[in-house]
Amino acid sequence: MTTIEHQLTPSVADRLVRSRLDRRSIVDRSMRGLALVAAVACIVPLGAVILFVTINGLSGLNLDLLTKPPRALGTGGGAVSAILGSLQMVALASLIAVPVGVLAAVYVSEFSDRRSATVIRFAADVLVGIPSILVGIFVFTFLVLPFKQYNAFAGSVALAILMIPVIMRTSEEILRLVPVTLREASLGLGIAQWRTVVSVVLRTGMAGILTGLMLAVARAFGETAPLLFTALGSRLVNVGDFGRPMDALPLFIYTNSRQPFPALNQQAWGAAFLLLLIVLTINVLVRFRTWGRRVS
């Protein structure tokens, strides 16, 4: 027996193997723990925001806030003008942004060449990163100054500009996940490419596209800076007149939180809690709808 063979007795070899396995186990547990800490770090801020807004805003959410218009000098009133304004402007912004964003995603995913697709993706990514206040100033220049009037239509256009890149990028990623075999099977049956995109590709990716749409809608509901330069806000209830100023929940929160009246500050907290409920409800409904489609 050689010297090396004599030194590596079974007991020594077992200890070496166990030592290596112990090190691997320690590293594995350390990485698992690090991943858990990172996951908790992602969840804790969301939970803290929800808890903080709920605690402060729950007492301010009442029937008056939901049904009455604002009043001056902290004498009560509610946020019905802001609620109706947000619903109208986000709805109009969605009507503008959804077709543009989805069709842009279809073009990039299905019809464009590599160079043009790269340019469009880069432009969309840059637009996502542009501060929303710059979008507000841009729309202010073209849709407010020429008419010398703040108006809700300009606010809807500003929100739509912010929504389009989000819708386009999320929809494109979903369309790229649709199996190529589905496209080939449809084309092999003699179906035109546009019909294949509409009936097969979009229909297959509809659940994911809806999720992306709701992300964009949630962002539009919470934007404040673009509306300061466009819709401006108003204490009057404005239903359907997009040529005049219109209030919105973020503007209502911003305005009332800066007032020296405790009643208005409490209304701001109540409106913040209401806005949080709207966004969470939209996301829960979309998740439920998406889950139903997967199960079926």
Mean pLDDT of 219-226: 93
pLDDT of residue 126: 94
28 with 66, same domain: the answer is no
10 with 153, same domain: the answer is no
Q: Is the pLDDT of residue 10 over 60?
A: no
- Per-residue tokens: 251: 């503007």
Domain limits at 261?
61-295
Name residue 88's amino acid: Q
pLDDT of residue 289: 65
132 with 246, same domain: the answer is yes
For 47, 130, 185, 249, 272, the CA distances from 217, given in Å and listed in that order, are 21, 18, 34, 14, 16
pLDDT of residue 235: 87
111 with 18, same domain: the answer is no
Return the H-helix or E-strand segment holding 262: helix 262-295
Instruction: Report pLDDT digits (tens) over 158-212.
Output: 999 999 999 999 999 999 999 999 998 998 888 999 999 999 999 999 888 988 8
CB-CB contact of 102 with 205 (8 Å): no
163 with 98, same domain: the answer is yes
3-class secondary structure, 70: strand
Boundary residue ending a domain (58, 76, 105): 58
Instruction: Report pLDDT digits (tens) over 28-78.
Output: 888 999 999 999 998 999 899 999 999 999 988 999 999 999 887 666 789
Q: How confident is the model at residue 13 (pLDDT cuts 50, 70, 90)?
A: low
- In terms of Cα–Cα distance, which of 63, 90, 46, 85 is closest to 270? 63
Mean pLDDT of 117-132: 93
Residue with tokens 């494109």: 172
Boundary residue ending a domain (40, 58, 76): 58
Mean pLDDT of 66-92: 89
Annotate 156-170 with DSSP letters as a single string. HHHHHHHHHHHHHHH
138 with 170, same domain: the answer is yes
| Interatomic CA distance for residues 107 and 172, integer angstroms | 9
156 with 39, same domain: the answer is no
User: What is the value of pTM for the model shown?
Assistant: 0.86
Instruction: Report pLDDT digits (tens) over 226-277.
Output: 999 999 999 899 999 999 999 999 999 999 999 888 889 999 999 999 999 9
| Interatomic CA distance for residues 254 and 64, integer angstroms | 19
Give the range among 4-18, 68-82, 120-134, 209-223 with minimum mean pLDDT: 4-18
Mean pLDDT of 98-125: 94
| Interatomic CA distance for residues 166 and 168, integer angstroms | 6
126 with 201, same domain: the answer is yes
3-class secondary structure, 112: coil
131 with 202, same domain: the answer is yes
83 with 194, same domain: the answer is yes
25 with 119, same domain: the answer is no
pLDDT of residue 76: 73
| Interatomic CA distance for residues 64 and 77, integer angstroms | 6
In this structure, how many other beta carbons lie within 10 angstroms of the beta carbon of residue 196? 19
CATH code of residue 113: 1.10.3720.10
Reported in sequence order, the residue ranges of 177-226 that DSSP labels E, i.e. its strands, are: none
Boundary residue ending a domain (39, 58, 77): 58
43 with 176, same domain: the answer is no
pLDDT of residue 295: 36
pLDDT of residue 296: 38
Domain total of the chain:
2
- Per-residue tokens: 162: 């912010």
